Amino acid sequence: MPQTALIDTSDRQSHNLLGQRLGRKGRDTRERVVAALHQLLATSPDVQPTLTAIAREAGVGMTTLYLYFSDLSELLLAALDPITREARLLIEQHCHRWSDDILHDECLTFLEAHYRFWAKHSRILHLRNSFADAGDPRLLANRRAMSNPAIECFAHQIGIDARQVETTGSEHAIVLLTMVERMATITTDANIGFAPVALHAGASDAFVLRLLEAEASIMALTIDGFRHGALGRRR
């Protein structure tokens, strides 16, 4: 049975669930369990991993695993932590004001970077989304944590403050993010047939590139419409 968590979630990387500070051996064991999740996702992408399978892959007993993770959601969050930081860095790198002169190209550059991020982490992100769609509050919070910086970026491109929820345009930023996330989900889903691809030569890759081109056109038209007054007028 899982141990009762005695510490705050923010301390989970430095303490086990009994509140004991992790030494080198404990940190290594925790990292080995997280690595085992990644390994199982890489080798069996169509099968949702279980804690039993993860413990076996990591070479630890269930009692040991439960010292670090109370359930699969908590383990998944640990594996997502560096990926969430990478997502924020991607936004920071691409959220300068996109030039009007090359707006389509700026949008396409962002979308290609976002696609590569999803292609790189598709298995764990798809698993995260399945938990979030089922109503897991922790994985829903993680999805929001990844999405909110992108919404703020799109709002910045449109020229509005995403924190002002009543401002005309914030809903457009949310819709743009939904389009971007949905397209990334579809194009990296092995069951649909576009994945795995990496934006290089090949028929599937060429089709994904055309999808990104079309997506960039829609995004550029929306941003340009707000910047030049064609959109954003209240009824």
Range 102-128 average pLDDT: 95
Predicted pLDDT at 45: 67
- Long-range CB pairs of 22-30 (<8 Å, 24+ gap) are 26/68, 29/58, 29/60, 29/64, 29/68, 30/68, 30/78
In the chain, CATH 1.10.357 covers: 80-227
Rounded Cα gap, residues 220 and 225, in angstroms: 8
CATH fold group of domain 80-227: Tetracycline Repressor; domain 2 (1.10.357)
Listed residue (206, 200, 179) closest to 107, CA to CA: 179
pLDDT value of position 56: 96
In the structure, what pLDDT confidence band is assigned to residue 7 with cuts at 50, 70 and 90? very low
Whole-number pLDDT of residue 186: 87
Reported as a pLDDT band with limits 50, 70 and 90, residue 187 is: confident
Nearest one of 154, 179, 164, 146 to 97, comparing CA atoms: 154
Q: What is the structure's pLDDT at 78?
A: 94
pLDDT in tens, 43-102: 876 778 999 999 999 999 999 999 999 999 999 999 999 999 999 999 999 999 999 999
Count of Cβ atoms closer than 10 Å to residue 163 Cβ: 10
Q: Considering the chain, what is the average pLDDT of its residues?
A: 84
- pTM comes to 0.84
